[in-house]
Structure 1
Amino acid sequence: MYPRVDKIETGKRIRSLMKVRGLKPTDVQDKLSLCCVQTVYKWMRGESIPSIDILYSLCALLRVNMDSLLVGNKEQIVLENMNRGL
């Protein structure tokens, strides 16, 4: 079976990673040059997922690969590494 993207779970991962990185929704908006902060809130609630160009930048900002963010295959390992500063 192929991995599937679950918007709700992806939103939870975005929220969790933002917390680990100490980022507020307005920080993400500013750093990604988004027109409104509501976009970030929609991602966090799982109402939508970033477009591929924004997703690439978001992953760089959160220091996580797309697979981990979208599907969560290695989420725990990534979070543990980020907490250790790796």
Structure 2
Amino acid sequence: MKVAVWDTYVKRADGALMHFDILVPENQSKEQSVLIFGSLYLSTKSFETGTFSASECQFCHIEQAGEDLQKAIREKGFSIIEMENCD
């Protein structure tokens, strides 16, 4: 399965900048869906974040997903790779 990777930066209420990738199936990479998935992810965090919109989330590239990632995407429709300041 190929996935679309959306590079995402969201400012936290404490001023730290979160960096994470939202991964979705290549054929389901509509911006509005990706933003919904990002909002769902952010709602699981114990801290507040700033605005989340298309300006914080940009399509980056397409890549081949490994088995674990494919399984996660089949179960939830998307996957998140946390990079910086996500905890």
Length-normalised TM-score, structure 2: 0.32
Name the structure where strand makes up a greater proportion of residues. 2
Length-normalised TM-score, structure 1: 0.33
